[in-house]
Amino acid sequence: MFVVATAGHVDHGKSTLVRALTGMEPDRWAEERRRGMTIDLGFAWTTLPSGGTVAFVDVPGHERFVPNMLAGVGPVPAALIVVAADEGWMPQSAEHLAALDALGVAYGLLAVTRADLADPGPATARARVEIAETSLGAVPAVAVSGLTGAGLPQLRAALDRLAAQLPAPVVDDPVRLWVDRSFTVRGSGTVVTGTLGAGRLRVGDELELAGADEPVRVRGLHSLGEARPEAAAVARVAVNLRGTPRDRLGRGDALLTPGRFHHTDLVDVRLAGDPAADLPATLTLHVGSAAVPVRVRPLGPDTVRLRLARPLPLLVGDRALLRDPGRHHVSGGVRVLDVAPPPLGRRGAAAARAQVLAELDGRPDLAGELRRRRLIRAGALIRMGVPVHAEPVAGDWLADPAHWRGLGEQLAEEVARHAREHPLEPGMPVDALRQRLALPDRVLVEALVRPPLRIHAGRVGAASANALPEPVALAVRRVRAEYGDRPFRAPEADRLVDLGLGPREIGAAVRAGALLRLADNVVLLPDALDDAVRVLAGLPQPFTLSAARQALDTTRRVAVPLLELLDRRGATRRLPDDARIVVT
Ligand SMILES: Nc1nc2c(ncn2[C@@H]2O[C@H](COP(=O)(O)OP(=O)(O)OP(=O)(O)O)[C@@H](O)[C@H]2O)c(=O)[nH]1
Ligand SMILES: [Mg+2]
């Protein structure tokens, strides 16, 4: 299907032409038919000579209804510009054309209607000149009469040629269906309609609706008046939603593929063309079928920040239009450069931001986004409309390569500094590092740890087991020299002090596996445990504490906690009479 929106001044014959082409009535309201004037959007379709289908979104030409016109053309990529031969180029011919230009519409046709009333030549010539100046460029022109039917075959053929030129829709893209109408059907509930410009909808799909906590579900789908199990872009669709009250949504809302769109009320944009220097501070932003008041903050010569009165699901690269409703004036088109821009708090931030924006063109650019954002989740980028084709550094985090290298170096420095300041600790806690490097997620710290550093027990430290600070290592060597042949004699408290082994040093040595702590100030060399089991196994079983003490050639101060430790480890077992056996 190919969707085309009409455009043109009031009473120039848009609806008459759509009616003549399709046999359908685009003016849906009784009031429209009574007044002979389109007020709101109309929808009609027909088959073209090629067999393809064209669907029309028929817009009102009256200046009061330009917002309705914009809701209709917003999501539609092609236009049928209608100019009456007898009236020629008129104010809303110009305003509608300015809107199409602002939105970047590149495909169109000119129909000069009421050709039975006047020579279509002058109106055609003028309109062609006006249109050629815009994003539409040179367009084919056909003179027609909705009254006599003259020119209609030529117009159908021209529509067929236009359809063939349109780029193929991307049916794998996420869905963003801008709602242009919502109503209730008795027995079915809420129905919304819109132009599906990309993607695919199926009955049963879950969709996201901005501002709703729950996803909405597609209960039924119609296109061209018929129920269908699915519809692929480009298509006019009517979507029946399960369990969604009618007042929950209306024109300007969008049904979205869940998780694929960033809802934003702050965007940085580039103004198209020759931006007016005196852009008013408040305007209306039209995008898709939505119209939202915005506050305009100028940044660079052709870039501004827009604060939206309500969030919209916008993507980098979106085209939109700014209009001054008071002055009936399309201020110009905009292209979205950034849907999640940084706050401008500090002095000079706006000027710096303008420089950044000067480099952007609205084309999604992964490397550039990473350079600017340094670290971001893949999902967040995808929701901005930036395709992600890079490996995450950890989890779903993506990093700018240079920033990531810098973080790695910073981590090594922090760990080294921590080791200097806390020589007895076995490394720097992961969470302290996370805070120090201002990282949003622990997995990033973990991914930054490289040999010779390693993570052990929640800390980042040197991988070598021999990581004892030198004074402690020396003390341990002394213990070994002095007690190596009396392995079950523990140094007395004052000897420990002489050796420089205070509680913290002992703790470090124990964590490094260089000493074994039996109790406060009672330490042995680590091999003592196995040796003790061997000695005790040589005793007649069961054996008493006293027998153990003598066999081990030690004191109660060591023997009591040593046996308790062996009990806990299951190497010995204590019997009810307090004697023990070695468990084999
Ligand atoms: N003679 C003649 N009259 C026409 C032709 N096309 C439209 N008209 C008449 O022009 C008047 C306006 O036509 P519409 O089709 O309602 O115009 P429109 O552009 O849809 O108007 P809006 O939707 O209000 O902007 C009607 O009275 C039509 O009958 C034509 O080709 N020849
Ligand atoms: Mg009309």
Q: Which whole number is the average pLDDT over 423-449? A: 88
What average pLDDT does the structure give for the chain?
91
CA distances to 247, 412, 424, 517 from 453, in Å = 59, 8, 16, 27
Q: How far is the CA of 484 from the centre of ligand 2 (A)?
A: 104
Tell me the two tokens of residue 566: 């062996």
Residue 474 has pLDDT above 90, yes or no: no
Q: Residues 280-294: what's their mean pLDDT?
A: 94
Average pLDDT over every residue of 536-563? 94
335 touches ligand 1 (CB under 6 Å): no
Q: Over 70: is that where the pLDDT of 466 sits? A: no
pLDDT for position 465: 43
Distance of alpha carbon 514 from alpha carbon 529, whole angstroms: 13
Is ligand 1 within 6 A of the CB of residue 61? yes
210-248 pLDDT, tens digit per residue, is 777 778 999 999 999 899 999 999 999 999 998 787 778
Q: Angle at CA 115, nearest 5°, toward 109 and 117?
A: 150
Upper half-sphere CA count for residue 187 (Cβ side, 13 Å): 0
Hey, how many other C-beta atoms are within 10 angstroms of the C-beta on 530? Answer: 10
How far is residue 32's CA from residue 25's CA, in Å, rounded to a whole number? 11
Please tell me the distance from the alpha carbon of residue 192 to that of residue 181, in angstroms, as a whole number.
6
> Helix, strand, or coil here: 239?
strand
Q: What is the pLDDT of residue 277?
A: 64
Average pLDDT for 15-20: 96
Residue 53 has pLDDT above 80, yes or no: yes
- Which residue puts its alpha carbon closest to atom 3 of ligand 1? 114
Stated pTM of the model: 0.80
Measured CA to CA in angstroms, residue 53 lies from 165, 291, 428 at distances of: 14, 29, 67
Asked if residues 196 and 289 have their Cβ atoms less than 8 Å apart, the reply is: no
Distance 6 CA to ligand 2 centre (A): 9
Lowest mean pLDDT among 267-271, 286-290, 387-391: 387-391
Distance from Cα 188 to the centre of ligand 2, integer Å: 30
Closest approach atom of ligand 1 to CA 26: 20
First to last CA, the chain: 83
Nearest atom, ligand 1, residue 117 CA: 1
